[in-house]
Structure formats: structure tokens, C-alpha cells
Amino acid sequence: MEENQFLESLREGNNEAFGRLLVEYQKKVFNTCISFVPNAEDAEDLAQEVFIEVFNSISKFKGGSKLSTWIYRISVNKSLEFIRKKNAKKRFGFMQSLLGNDTAIDRSTYFTEFNHPGIQLENKEKSEILFAAINKLPEAQRTVYTLNKIDGMSYQEVADITQKSIGSIESLLFRAKKNLQGLLHDYYKKEGN
């Protein structure tokens, strides 16, 4: 009954309920966003967008899944949308440079900062290499791998968030691991020469 009352308070626009929601989910949402977008400022902006979306859409939440699953799904979707837009901007900048436009291509790496609590790598360079490789995975593999391996979610939680079967999750994880092995092997092979 507690969960239903909480949801009803959220739907009614109760400020105290939204305060509780922020306290309970702020860190979790940020951690999910930074898993996909390893830049603290961007992850903070995305987390704010997630809560704005939750605030604006809570009346549409039917309760078919847990509230936490719904919030994670919004977090993942906002993060993937951000990545798609960023990649589109890079392609646009590259095309402009090919066409002789004076627009400079941003050659700096996107991974300017990395402080994810779920990853304890000894140095920043290794984490940048890993996340650059993860970012090259197809979107479905990247999503499942990030939620399971980086955020530590169970197969069932990942299945609920992505709305895929556990069998699909296992298959996507297997392919993601194989692709990452290839990407990282190629990188270290180049570095060794």
C-alpha cells in the first residue's frame, strides 16, 4: 500500500513526494547516466532531464512495472538519445570540414572526466579505452552490457528495463563481450607495435 500511496502523491504533484523521489533516486539515476556518458557535467544534465521527464510523465505511469524500472528506462533512453545526438554532431562537423567549411572538428576526446563509482580502474587511460570500446558496441549490446556489467544489475532487472527476455539479455551480453574482446585486442595489438 505504501508504494501506491507514494505514486498517488507523485501524480497529485505533492512536493514532499517529489523530494523523497529525488532523495531515493538521484544517485542511482546519475550513476546510470554516467555509465553511458562518462562525463560528470553531461551526466548531471541528463539526470536533471530524467527527473523533469519523470515529473512531466508521472501521470502516464500505469504501474505495469516497478517505479524504479520505469525511472531506469527513462535514464537509459535519455542517455542513448544524448549519445546519438553527439554522434550526429560529430558527423556533421566532419562533413562540414570535407566541404571546405571553416568549422573545426573537435578532435579532443569526449571522455574528459571519469569518476564512476562502479569501476575501480587503476588509471584514467584504461577507463577511457574501455568506455571508448563500449561506446563502439551496437546500441542494444551497449545498453545491456552497461546495465549488467557496469551498473551491476541482474539479468532480470536488465530485462525489465529493456523490455527484452532474459534469453535475449544473455545473447546480447555474450555478443557484447566477444565484440569488446575484439576491440580491445585490436587496440592493444596496435599499442604493442
Task: Please write the tens of the pLDDT for every residue from 72-109.
Answer: 999 999 998 998 887 666 555 544 444 444 444 343 34
Query: In this predicted structure, what is the pLDDT of residue 91?
Result: 52
Please compute, for residue 123, the number of CA atoms within 13 A of its CA located in the half-sphere on the CB side.
Answer: 3
Please tell me the distance from the alpha carbon of residue 104 to that of residue 54, in angstroms, as a whole number. 37
Phi/psi for 62 (5° steps) reads -90, -10
Q: Which residues of the chain have pLDDT under 70?
A: 1, 87-125, 187-193
Q: What domains, with CATH codes, occur in the chain?
A: 1-93 (1.10.1740.10), 118-193 (1.10.10.10)
CB atoms within 10 A of CB 61: 15
- Cell numbers describing residue 187: 587496440
